[in-house]
Structure 1
Amino acid sequence: MTAPISLIVGLGNPGNEYEHTRHNAGFWCLDAFAHSQRISLSPDKKFHGLAGKGHINGQECWLLKPATFMNRSGLAVAALANFYKLKPENILVIHDELDLPAGIARFKTGGGHGGQNGLRDIISQLGNNKDFHRLRIGIGHPGDKSRVTGHVLGRAPVAEEQSIRAAIDEACRVLPDVLNGEMAKAMNRLHSFKG
């Protein structure tokens, strides 16, 4: 059993122009999970984002979408975590992942930021602590480093977006297990999913 999750954070960029971009896969997943659990998110200035609290399988959990840009995501995460005295191991961060193909989602605990600016800022704001959990939503790699920015800030073709959203739907089904500390059970199901 892992520590129970008390905060789930979805990463993305605010604003209509970014809403449908691959970089917002973390927002897509958090929105889908909030909807499935009937948790409403509303602006919360002290947490620099949209926040909502719910009870999932008897476990209290906060959901958070930072209202800052991706590279300042840690501001919101640290504000809520510090306020409620949450440890990094009680936090799950959902983010887009270049190193996984579209349609694949994977859990991971700890590790570096892999060039993901949201993770980089969260690690920094949590005092260089990397021990939080991650839910990596695959968006595929464009094949060349010079094309990464355009890829993550671009919109996926319809079939690719459908694959990403299918992986998100499956991730939302297993998140309640993660909240209960049953990470291994959630991993087994999600990691065998083929979108």
Structure 2
Amino acid sequence: MDDAQWLVVGLGNPGPDYASNRHNVGQMVLAELAHRIGATFRSQKTNAMVAEGRTAPGGPRLILAKPNSYMNLSGGPVAALLKFYSLDPSRLIVVHDELDIPFDRLRLKQGGGHGGHNGLRDIIAATGSADFIRVRVGVGRPPGRQPAADFVLRDFSSEERKVLPNLLADAADAVEQIAVDGLTAAQLRFHTEPV
């Protein structure tokens, strides 16, 4: 049995008013992962909803977490989760929306800055480390002169919603492959453009 554990955090804002926003795509991916591993989210004392299970029988253990805080205050719950499970930030995968990637594309990386993403900024500040893996889910740039903050706090368009289930499945596949085969193998798969 694989004793590896990964903390997988899906960023977003709490409550039904935000549930379908572009900014909550990280939490949407976690819902897909929880469904796959047959786990149910439960409230935990780290100010997060947590679901746990294995990617496959004998596979790595995934601790899926959705902070109960707003996006910009994600760091406190993430730091508390790492401490609670005695995990190093190198065992953390953060799934989040990314404006600089076109909709329906993924990019995976380890480390780096926050790129203006306030959720990442708060996690880096609270954990004292940027050395975690990011699954960056492309939501695209806002049209025209619409402010980015307004764009990410709106629901996906009807056209985007037709493709969204595939994007969420791809992002969940990426998390599972990182946990099983490592980041490089997942990058080779998900960074290769279809021909």
Q: TM-score, normalised by structure 1?
A: 0.90
Q: Tell me the residue number matched to 1:138.
A: 138
Once residues 184 and 162 of structure 1 are traced to their aligned partners in structure 2, the CA distance between those partners, rounded to angstroms, is: 30
Please say if residues 99 and 140 of structure 2, whose CA atoms lie closer than 8 Å, have aligned partners that are also in contact.
Answer: yes
Query: What is the CA distance between 1:15 and its match in structure 2?
Result: 0.9
Structure 1 residues 193 and 159: alpha-carbon distance in aligned structure 2, compared to 1, 3 A threshold = farther
Q: Does 1:86 align with 2:87?
A: yes
Runs of 4+ in 1 over 6 A off after TM superposition: none
- Paired residues for 1:16-55 under 5 Å: 16-44=16-44, 46-55=45-54
- Paired residues for 1:1-195 under 5 Å: 6-44=6-44, 46-57=45-56, 58-127=59-128, 129-142=129-142, 147-192=147-192
Query: What is the CA distance between 1:182 and its match in structure 2?
Result: 2.0
Structure with the greater relative contact order (CA < 8 A, sep ≥ 6): 1 or 2?
Answer: 1
Please say if residues 138 and 164 of structure 1, whose CA atoms lie closer than 8 Å, have aligned partners that are also in contact.
Answer: no
Please say if residues 5 and 92 of structure 1, whose CA atoms lie closer than 8 Å, have aligned partners that are also in contact.
Answer: no
Once residues 165 and 101 of structure 1 are traced to their aligned partners in structure 2, the CA distance between those partners, rounded to angstroms, is: 16
Once residues 63 and 76 of structure 2 are traced to their aligned partners in structure 1, the CA distance between those partners, rounded to angstroms, is: 16
Question: What one-letter code is carried by the residue in structure 2 that aligns with 1:99?
Answer: D
Structure 1 residues 193 and 29: alpha-carbon distance in aligned structure 2, compared to 1, 3 A threshold = farther
Alignment RMSD (CA, Å): 1.7
Query: What is the CA distance between 1:37 and its match in structure 2?
Result: 1.5
Query: What is the CA distance between 1:103 and its match in structure 2?
Result: 0.5
Name the % identity.
38
Once residues 104 and 164 of structure 1 are traced to their aligned partners in structure 2, the CA distance between those partners, rounded to angstroms, is: 11
Please say if residues 99 and 140 of structure 1, whose CA atoms lie closer than 8 Å, have aligned partners that are also in contact.
Answer: yes
For structure 2, the residue ranges without an aligned partner over 5 or more in a row are none
Please say if residues 171 and 190 of structure 1, whose CA atoms lie closer than 8 Å, have aligned partners that are also in contact.
Answer: no
Please say if residues 105 and 168 of structure 1, whose CA atoms lie closer than 8 Å, have aligned partners that are also in contact.
Answer: no
Query: What is the CA distance between 1:12 and its match in structure 2?
Result: 0.3
For structure 1, the residue ranges without an aligned partner over 5 or more in a row are none
Larger deviation: 35-44 or 178-187? Answer: 178-187
Q: TM-score, normalised by structure 2?
A: 0.90
Once residues 145 and 131 of structure 2 are traced to their aligned partners in structure 1, the CA distance between those partners, rounded to angstroms, is: 28
For these two proteins, the number of residue pairs brought into alignment is 189
Give per-residue Cα distances to partners, 1:96-129, cap 9 Å, x unaligned: 00001110011111111111111011001102x1
